[in-house]
Amino acid sequence: MVASFVGRRRELAALDQTLAGVRAELTSGRPGRCLILRGRRRIGKSALVEEFLRRSGVPYVFYTATIGTGTEQLTDFSDAVRDSNLPDSEVFADAVPGNWAAALRQLAGVLPTGEPTVVVIDELPYLMDEAGKFESTLQRAWDRDLSRKPVLLILIGSDLSIMKALTSYGRPFHQRGMDMPIGPLSPADVATMTGLDAADALDATLLTGGLPIICSRWRHHEDLWSFLARELGNPVSPLLVSAQLSLAAEFPDQAQARAVLGAIGAGKRTFTNIARAAGGISHSTLTRATDLLIGKGIVAGDLPLSLRPSRERRYRITDSYLRFWFTFLGPHLAEIDRMRSDLTVDRIRSGWTTWRGRAIEPLLREAIARILPAEGIPAAPAVGSYWTRGNEIEIDIVGADRAPIAMELLFLGSIKWLERSAFDSHDLAALQHHRARITDKPVPLIAVTRSGSTTRHLDAVFQPADILRAWLS
């Protein structure tokens, strides 16, 4: 039995709309459309496109590139077209084209003119080279042949830096395709898959990172600790191996980048502490590594959002699953291998509240940006946080007119994400004190809390159900 497909409503709607545009332009000179899907590995890009193809019912070819020689890749491409349901696809059974220019020209020749089709090239970065030869070949094939047919060309890739570069100014394929970033499943989708209430679904989102392959393992209404006990007892569980597979694919020969990622995953956030934890690497080496990690979308380097400039940058892993893996799983794989996952679960249980308190902050800030305007609080073009070097002042949520140096602060907020502790007057007093340190204006104050609030002197309070609704619209 095939598992039901959950979520991705906006992405499926975007794909449907683009295909509809191809269908509407059947009689025009260039009805073809191109979408460029980029997203982290194991985020569900290929599954999304497979579901779109299943629903659309149009003829298509789905080719997944692999690492190999040009001849091997052309053979695989020819096999994919030959085995597809494209009209006249048997043309590719006669002989393998000698190069990509011939292969794409031959593909255009078998695409019909009276109905739309879809051509998918997955793992596109495996075909690209430093000289840009494949990009140039693709550009010429698109301009001369493919775009003249009613085809939706979907290019998929997991290397974010390469996929972003594909359509950048000065590159051959510039302005030929529409960029469509694919993120993890939303908390609302995770709630649907797991059957959990809002607060527990947000916990599940942090743990899984919204990766469909991990979320699909979560039994309906199962609590966090039952899920962990079962999955960590399975040596091939996606919860254990997804991070290893992603790291091996994205950093096959970049030991320094992996060391830096490990340091950030272990909780080091400042440049100096990361360098020390990564083995005392030099400033230039760390700069190159962080630039690489930021370019791949794995790490973010945040600056305080305030009225004054700051150089106090802090680094974090953007994927909460990777962050969880580096904190609780990666350092203890030997323990799990010797069938003592019970020790791992106990360690997670003892450190969960502290880890979650920090890990959930970016998710909650994103939710606030989505929710507003609400409860009398205005929408903010920028939502971030503020801190000083020694953490004398830390403000969890800052809404402003722009980032990182604001002209106007729109609201300030505090996060208190504990099961049995509501936001109270002491928390409010601390937030008011910090507000007075950075502005003399009566900027509205908000709280984001898992267990409600016992003070009435806030301008707005947001709880788990409010946060989850941010992804329901």
Res 378 pLDDT > 70? yes
Is residue 2 assigned to a domain? no
Q: Which two tokens stand for residue 329?
A: 């799983």
- Write out pLDDT tens, residues 420-455: 999 999 999 999 999 999 999 999 999 999 999 999
CA neighbor of 384 nearest in space, from 440, 310, 472, 450: 310
Q: Which two tokens stand for residue 343?
A: 């020790």
Q: Are residues 40 and 124 in the same domain?
A: yes
The 8-class DSSP code of residue 424 comes to -
Q: Are residues 110 and 207 in the same domain?
A: no
Q: Are residues 155 and 175 in the same domain?
A: yes
Q: Which two tokens stand for residue 75?
A: 């053979």
Backbone angles phi, psi at 386, to 5 degrees: -140, 145
Q: Are residues 155 and 18 in the same domain?
A: yes
Please tell me the predicted confidence (pLDDT) of residue 3: 54
Please tell me the predicted confidence (pLDDT) of residue 2: 42
Res 7 pLDDT > 50? yes
Is residue 277 assigned to a domain? yes
Continuous H helices in 237-340: 238-250, 255-265, 271-277, 283-295, 320-324, 333-337
- Pairing state of beta strands 33-38 and 178-181? parallel
CA distances from 385 to 203, 380, 410, 442, 457 (A): 21, 13, 13, 18, 21
Q: Are residues 155 and 237 in the same domain?
A: no
Q: Are residues 133 and 87 in the same domain?
A: yes
- What is the CATH classification number for the domain harbouring 148? 3.40.50.300
Is residue 283 assigned to a domain? yes
Please tell me the predicted confidence (pLDDT) of residue 473: 65
Please tell me the predicted confidence (pLDDT) of residue 253: 72
Q: Are residues 158 and 198 in the same domain?
A: no
Q: Are residues 134 and 209 in the same domain?
A: no
Q: Are residues 136 and 29 in the same domain?
A: yes
- Model confidence at 39, pLDDT cuts 50, 70, 90, reads confident
Is residue 4 assigned to a domain? no
Q: Are residues 335 and 394 in the same domain?
A: no
CA neighbor of 363 nearest in space, from 207, 140, 167, 237: 207
Q: Which two tokens stand for residue 465?
A: 């159900």
Res 1 pLDDT > 60? no
Is residue 447 assigned to a domain? yes
SS (H, E, C) 225-249: HHHHHHHHCCCCCHHHHHHHHHHHH
CA distances from 384 to 328, 397, 436 (A): 27, 6, 18
Is residue 3 assigned to a domain? no
- What is the CATH classification number for the domain harbouring 446? 3.40.1350.10
Res 8 pLDDT > 50? yes
Q: Pick from 181, 201, 235: which residue ends a domain?
A: 181
Q: Are residues 337 and 211 in the same domain?
A: yes
Please tell me the predicted confidence (pLDDT) of residue 217: 94
- Write out pLDDT tens, residues 320-372: 999 999 999 999 999 999 999 999 999 999 999 999 999 999 999 999 999 99
Q: Pick from 307, 326, 354: which residue ends a domain?
A: 354
- Write out pLDDT tens, residues 70-88: 889 999 999 999 999 998 8
Domain that residue 32 falls in = 9-181
Q: Are residues 149 and 275 in the same domain?
A: no
**How many separate domains does the chain show?**
3
Is residue 1 assigned to a domain? no
Q: Which two tokens stand for residue 417?
A: 């994400």
Q: How many CB atoms lie within 10 A of CB 354?
A: 11
Q: Pick from 153, 181, 209: which residue ends a domain?
A: 181
- Write out pLDDT tens, residues 101-159: 999 999 999 999 999 999 999 999 999 887 778 899 999 999 999 999 999 999 999 88
- Write out pLDDT tens, residues 223-264: 999 999 999 999 999 999 999 988 887 786 787 888 999 999
